[in-house]
Structure 1
Amino acid sequence: MSVSRWWWLAVLGLGVAGCRTTGAVAGPDSATPPVTQEIQFDAVTVTADLELDKLNDEELFAEGTSAFAANDFKQAARYFGRLADFHPNSQHRRQALYNAGLAHQRLKEWEEAWHRFSELADAAKGQGDALDAAFRVAETQYHLERYDEAISLLTTLAERQDLPLNRRIEARVQQGICELEAGRPDASEATLRKAISAYESLTDKDEVDDYFPAQAHFFVGELYRMHYENVQLDPAKGADKLAEDLNYKAELLLSAQGHYLRSIRVGNGYWATAAGSQIGALYEDLYARMVNSPAPAELNAEEAVVYRQELRKKIRVLLTKSINIYERTLETAERIGSQSTFVDRTRESLAKVKALLLADAEGEPVPAPPATEDDPHS
């Protein structure tokens, strides 16, 4: 719920109880003693949602539960919120607070969700719903771009030795992602590697959920992808510098690929598909940069032809690698029944790269792949 709406509800919720006005009313003769007149009003409370005023806490909880089950999150938030606000002694209040937060979260109403979860959350000592609510608070802070607050809370959770390792790894991975979003790549990598080390140290890896270790590897891959993208290929600097930058860029690509492959090996379907998609996109991106790069200025016409021929061979290798990665990613997604934006993007990219390779094989000019709206490399 927005700050302005809470202010509005606070004003309307003020009780007007026992309001009375008193005043001296003079008689027609100035010598007549003043007549005291008292006007008494019944107590009135303005509730701001009169339709729900007739429902008790049990009825509100039942209606909210029914609405949530029916995916009517707007109504669920309304019923649960009413219970939490107007029935402070109800046995259902804590659950209503949590469920109201969940309903707002499903609606992507992050400020309102934050307000509900915050009342329950206890990052330092909480268990049960207080612990779960603390993780939810961090998630809402992430979406509200309050990264410093989320990092502080998640650090507290990650360092709690009384929590199961699975929850500490979860907190550590989320902390690393928030650090990345806050523009702290070095801190992010250190934090993510701590989570990975904790996972790798386990003898029985089935003790923890594979989602978060796979996510940690994926985001270390993302860090190296960002480093890769920061290296620019500029032929104007000369052939030697271009070759140096190209080799360095290829090393960063392989480093990113290595972490994406580790993410795939963890075995989580969602992150395996996402990682495969990103590997294919890296090769596709390097192809685009190379095919659009002019020959170094110091090469004469004959040398430039040889340069283009060698470049064409490398381009075909990149396209072939990209196709292989995309095909394996789609096979994995189909085998595990994964559906996500990564799967859709992979399918589209595969068709595009196959067309490029076919055009190159037929001796046609190879155009640069067009940037798409959701392409992170554009």
Structure 2
Amino acid sequence: MSVSRRWWWLAALGLVVSGCRTTGSAARADGQGTPPKQEIQFDAVTVTADLELDKLNDEELFAGGTSAFAANDFKQAARYFGRLADFHPDSQHRRAALYNAGLAHQRLKEWEEAWHRFSELADPAKGTGDALDASFRVAETQYHLERYDEAVELLGVIANRQDLPVNKRLEAQVQQGICQLEAGRSEEAEKTLRKSISTYEGLADKDEVDDYFPAQAHFFIGEIYRLHYDDVKLDPAKGSDKLAEDLNYKAELLLSAQGHYLRSIRVGNGYWATAAGAQIGALYENLYQHMVNSPAPSELDAAEAQVYRQELRKKIRVLLTKSISIYERTLETAERIGSQSAFVDRTRESLAKVKALLLADAEGEPDADSHPAPPATDAKPHS
């Protein structure tokens, strides 16, 4: 942290310094050659950790921090703004310096330091302007610090404020639901996210709200069902009836997750539309991996197992075809809106992989008793 700190140095016997005071006499005290006792006293010294900035006033510090931030030198920006905030409490720039220092630490992913700066400004219950913005930033730093319950509580305060515009309340509610999900409280998260969507759907003028937040809410409800999907394990050792039951249930959860991802896409926000499309494709790819790597139920004889694998391959081809279609549509959407994100890169890799798998199947590779060879992309399946 670029906050200047103070140390009070205590004198130690035997240190050699200039300007010390001594008491006693140079004469021998006992006539036996024993030197007299001496008392050494030091004045308290304040030492600052950043002497280079010590000579700058608040205007110069603010100008230096602003220049560094504009140049993306966030380490220097945090240093200048932090110095101003700590050593110039009466400066007209102090509040801006606190906020900007928090932003600089945030860009550096120094979450604890960012939290410290934003916390001094934040007022989730009554704040407006930078006090409200800082409250959202505090919640974001708590999220990254995995203090989910604290973030949930803070965001709940903002979401319940009737004096705020609906866009701010909706933003707080969606972020609250995400933090509940990260805290392992999926049922609460789903209720909170559905409530935010109901608020959005009930608006006469949806332009009051940034489409980012309802799209994000639909996406994370999809994530809740994807997590439920992941929890269902396909175990052939339990027998064909149980395997079929679990497979059907897993497919139902896939369709539920897909439904919410599609709703996210329909909201029309480019970022979340791309992310949702990537997740749908990944779900089909994941189900394919489960099915192709699952051995036949143990109670089937050789002939029955052969039929089982043939039927399974038909379903696998359908899954691969669906996955390709969704990946291609996702990339078309991303290209149309000019979106560039990790989701877009992952979608391109996954599309190449799934096409290679489908081509191998069409050429008769793998056969009924083997698994498909990995594609040249070396991309790993998404869970």
TM over 0.5: yes
Hey, what's the Cα distance between the residues in 1 that align with 2:8 and 2:327? 58
Gaps of 5+ in 2: 11-18, 30-38
What's the offset of the Cα at 1:12?
Answer: 5.7
- Which stretches of structure 1, 4 residues or longer, exceed 2 Å deviation after superposition? 10-14, 20-28, 43-47, 368-376
What's the offset of the Cα at 1:295?
Answer: 1.3
SS of the equivalent of 1:46 reads strand
Hey, what's the Cα distance between the residues in 1 that align with 2:219 and 2:318? 24
2:286/2:382 contact within 8 Å kept: no
Amino acid at match of 1:169: L
After superposition, the C-alpha distances for 1:206-234 in whole angstroms (9 at most, x for unaligned) are 11101111111101000000101111111
1:77/1:101 contact within 8 Å kept: yes
Gaps of 5+ in 1: 15-19, 31-36
Does residue 280 in structure 1 map to residue 270 in structure 2? no
Amino acid at match of 2:7: V
- 1:65 match: 66
- 1:291 match: 292
1:277/1:326 contact within 8 Å kept: yes
Hey, what's the Cα distance between the residues in 2 that align with 1:290 and 1:374? 16
- 2:318 match: 317
Hey, what's the Cα distance between the residues in 1 that align with 2:318 and 2:59? 66
Amino acid at match of 2:302: A
| Corresponding pairs, count | 360
Residues 360-371 of structure 1: matches in 2 within 5 Å? 360-365=361-366, 366-367=371-372
Does residue 303 in structure 1 map to residue 304 in structure 2? yes
Hey, what's the Cα distance between the residues in 2 that align with 1:317 and 1:374? 21
What's the offset of the Cα at 1:47?
Answer: 2.3
Hey, what's the Cα distance between the residues in 2 that align with 1:272 and 1:120? 34
Hey, what's the Cα distance between the residues in 1 that align with 2:68 and 2:185? 41
- 1:340 match: 341
Amino acid at match of 2:278: S
Hey, what's the Cα distance between the residues in 1 that align with 2:300 and 2:358? 27
TM-score by length of 1: 0.89
What's the offset of the Cα at 1:298?
Answer: 1.9
Residues 175-190 of structure 1: matches in 2 within 5 Å? 175-190=176-191
- 2:239 match: 238
What's the offset of the Cα at 1:45?
Answer: 3.9
Residues 120-269 of structure 1: matches in 2 within 5 Å? 120-269=121-270
Hey, what's the Cα distance between the residues in 2 that align with 1:374 and 1:182? 27
- 1:17 match: none
Amino acid at match of 2:280: I
Distance of aligned partners of 1:254 and 1:125 in 2 relative to their CA distance in 1, 3 Å threshold: same
1:13/1:48 contact within 8 Å kept: no
Hey, what's the Cα distance between the residues in 1 that align with 2:71 and 2:86? 23
Amino acid at match of 1:154: L
**Identity %, equivalent residues:** 80
1:104/1:110 contact within 8 Å kept: yes
